[in-house]
Amino acid sequence: MKSNIRAMKFKTRAITPIRIGAAAAVMGLVAVAAAGGSASIAATTKAKRVTITVASLVPGASAAATKQFNNQVLEFDRANPGIQVLPVTYDWTGPTFAAELAAGTLPTMFTVPFTDGRSLGEAGQLANLTKYAKSYSWFKQFNPAVIAEGIDAKGQVIAIPEAAYAQALQYNRQLFSEAGLNPNKPPTTWAQVAADAQAISAKTGEAGFSVMGANDNTAGWILTTLSYAFGGRVETGIGAKATATFDNPGTVDALNFIHTLRWTDNAMGSNFGLSWGTSNAAFAAGQIGMFVSGSDVYTNMVQADNLNPSIYGLAPLPTENANAGILGGGTLAAVKPTATPAQIAAAMKWINFYYMQPLVNKAQAIRNAKSLIADDQPVGVPAMPVFNLKTFNEANKWIKSLINTPQSQFAPFNDGIFKDKLVPEPESATQAIYGDLDSVVEQVLTNANANIPGLLQAANSVGQSSIAEGNQPS
Amino acid sequence: MTPKLEEMGPALTTEAAGGPSGVRLRRTPLTWVQQGGIGRLVFLLPLLLVFGAFSWYPIVRLVLMSFQYTNLVQPPTWVGLANFSAVIHDPLFPIAVRNTAEFAGLALVFGYPIPLIAAVLISEVRSRRGLYSALAYLPVVIPPVVSVLLWKTFYDAAPNGVFNTILGWVGIGPQPWIQSQSAALPSLVLESTWANAGSTVIIYLAALTGVNRELYEAASVDGAGLWKKVWHVTLPQIRTVLLVTMILQIIGTAQVFLEPYLFTLGGPANSTLTVMLLIYDYAFGNSLGGDYGKAAALSLMLVAFLAVFSLIYLRVTRSWSNQ
């Protein structure tokens, strides 16, 4: 859903000396041309300078992260004197995105989760990037399942996948040790997760296991993840023909698992309204033994929550039955539909420079990693491939010597995840489906006598209406 | 039968005829200018522009939108009363109405008398009255978002949470506060009362200074104690203010948004979902574009309800105010 969207935003509004220099140079050209008596040449020269606004860091990102982003902009400006890049802070959340979309105040280039790309594109809310995207050599290397997230029903490229994540088990190594558990051996079955959670809760007094329970689609996102891991699916089919299938054995098992940990084992602590950011903060503060979130949240915890890297551990979610899968999602880079062709071309150049080159070009990958290291930003955080596995492994090799993150602590995840079946998020009315599941999770967390099948049946009919509403002909 | 012109009265005939008459002069653009109309218009213009742009235009737009399907990106389509029907048939609508009524009711029962009691007590103390008034007003000075975030930590459901620690001192076990479906709404009312009581205390203190001291002296002579003086002198003397603050409080609590939005997002399990939060969800809950038509329809329904309620309230209480 929103995992890595938040992890990679940058911010600055610096008018750098270089940019001022570039502006002066353009003005100089204009003056010379005008002196030559050709106003039309002057106008043409001036028009060549294209200004685009790009999504940068989340508001409130650290000074070091901001500086690192500024340096990227500087470098892009040097290589592209005809383009002026103005970074704006950006934090994708459902409500703010909807408001900015309606008000037309999104930056020229912004990011959206995999869940929203195609729907936005088909509603004419994203620029058509087809001819620009296909001119880059990396376009052919995309993992077909991943690039499908950025292609609408007409076959137009409306967004570029720039990062992918898999849901994972985040665990606190320090709490594992304090509870007498081996931090190098995270649980591999759900029964072990429950047993470890009880041990952590009993020995340390902190929440052994936590799930997001906020009414902002995150609770539904995590329930969908757990449902997949227990072998369930919350939706089948695509578009208007999709069917909500909330009431399935996998989802029931997942909710029973939560219910037992909450009410019988009392191993989930005392805060049941956590969301994406507050879960990260509580984990970094040592209040959570284990929780489920994207494989890439380490970066955000370092940037925003002052995480002590030594406590961090990452493992794949247990998948025990044949149908069990790992929910995967990601982030798309997209362009405003009102952008001019010159702006779209410029935005694509920025997407290529900032997001794509570090994944496909050795020199750029190394330069990018060095730039991150210089500002104490993490390099080598677990991610999922947006291109094929060969390109992904190669890119990881280029930066191996520059990695500054505790790889041995990510090892359980990195060693296990590629053996798992990755399952994309529900295709139709995704965020609305998550919203409909929120209250089921909240009920289970706050009502000891919650009737799980009854709740799922009731939510299912609401979910079916959400699918119908989300696919109204426009 | 059509009455003759002359039968319709002297004013009309003289106006229509345009002839000289002592009753009314016919106004022309020239007389308007001569009487300083342009000056008046210039002074009015900023007000008209500001109200027009930021109040009247959005109000008109809202009414139109309530009959449209629009996400403000694609062109709107007219849907008649479909938005109103969709809102009424939304299973969340009765929940939101019930929660809002419960919030308003609890705020009235607990939040309404507290400022009055505080004001009466403050007005009775002989020294440091200013200090007590300032202390009562202090929560109003704290930005509302800061207050809520502060109270969120007070409401920590862990045994070592602030309120739970205090309860522990008197032998009461930890409470779930905003984590519980039954306790969440009253917890919100508690914070809201704390945050908003100060303004009302100041209003009551001002009203109390208007009560004639001789009435209290007369009551004392008649042997009345503090309670009797409050009941028979203070309350009747400030009843107009009491009635106004009550309707203002009801209107305010019917529009409660900040507390449920910041504390619980309407949870757990919709137990703090209010009408305003539902409007917000319609408008901004979907990242693919809000259903602004439904949001406008519910807003209009809330306005209509409050307008009718206020009219009835004013009608019913008119005789009490004028006694």
pLDDT in tens, A404-432: 999 999 999 999 998 999 999 998 888 88
Asked if the Cβ–Cβ distance from B268 to A443 is below 8 Å, we say: yes
Q: Which residues of chain B neighbour A215 with C-beta distances below 8 Å?
A: 264-268, 270
Task: Give the contacts of B169 (CB within 8 A, at least 6 positions apart).
Answer: none
Asked if the Cβ–Cβ distance from A273 to B268 is below 8 Å, we say: yes
**Residue to test with chain A: of B92, B152, B287, most A Cβ within 10 A:** B287
A positions 258-317 inside 8 Å of B (CB): 269-273
CB-based contact (8 Å) between A105 and chain B? no
Give the gap in angstroms from C-alpha A157 to the nearest C-alpha of chain B.
18
Asked if the Cβ–Cβ distance from B267 to A273 is below 8 Å, we say: yes
Q: What is the pLDDT of residue A46?
A: 52
Rounded Cα–Cα distance for residues A194 and A190 (Å): 6
CB-based contact (8 Å) between A462 and chain B? yes
Of the candidate ranges A78-92, A354-368, B18-32, B174-188, the one whose mean pLDDT is the lowest: B18-32
Q: What is the pLDDT of residue A311?
A: 97
Q: What is the pLDDT of residue A215?
A: 87
Q: What is the pLDDT of residue A47?
A: 54
Q: Averaged over A63-89, what is the pLDDT? A: 90
Give me the residue from A99, A103, A123 closest to B74, CB to CB: A123
- Token pair belonging to B300: 């209009």
Question: In chain B, which stretches have pLDDT less than 50?
Answer: 1-21
Structural domain A3-163+339-374, CATH architecture: 3-Layer(aba) Sandwich (3.40)
- Token pair belonging to A356: 């794509």
Rounded Cα–Cα distance for residues A84 and A350 (Å): 10
What confidence tier does A40 reach under pLDDT thresholds 50, 70, 90?
very low
A positions 201-240 inside 8 Å of B (CB): 213-216
Prediction ipTM score: 0.78
Of the candidate ranges A295-309, A311-325, B3-17, the one whose mean pLDDT is the lowest: B3-17
- Nearest chain A Cα to B261, which residue? A215
pTM for this predicted structure: 0.81
A344 CB-contact burial (10 Å; exposed 0-12 / middle 13-18 / buried 19+): buried
| Mean pLDDT for all residues in chain A | 87
Q: Averaged over A45-54, what is the pLDDT? A: 78
Say whether A165-328+423-470 and A3-163+339-374 share the same fold. yes
What are residue A112's phi and psi, to 5 degrees? Answer: -135, 155
Give the gap in angstroms from C-alpha B267 to the nearest C-alpha of chain A.
6
Asked if the Cβ–Cβ distance from B288 to A103 is below 8 Å, we say: no
pLDDT-above-90 percentage for chain A: 64
Contact B277, B257 (CB under 8 A): yes
Whether A64 has a pLDDT exceeding 70, the answer reads yes
Q: What is the pLDDT of residue A7?
A: 34
Domain ranges of chain A: 3-163+339-374, 165-328+423-470
B162 CB-contact burial (10 Å; exposed 0-12 / middle 13-18 / buried 19+): middle
Q: What is the pLDDT of residue B248?
A: 93
CATH class label, B84-322 = mainly alpha
Whether A184 has a pLDDT exceeding 80, the answer reads yes
- Nearest chain B Cα to A433, which residue? B286
Amino acid at A228: Y
Domain ranges of chain B: 24-65, 84-322
Whether A13 has a pLDDT exceeding 60, the answer reads no
CA separation, residue B149 to residues A217, A228, B143, B160 (Å): 21, 35, 10, 17
Most confident of A1-15, A43-57, A221-235: A221-235
Overall size of chain A counted in residues: 474
Structural domain A165-328+423-470, CATH architecture: 3-Layer(aba) Sandwich (3.40)
Asked if the Cβ–Cβ distance from A98 to B268 is below 8 Å, we say: no
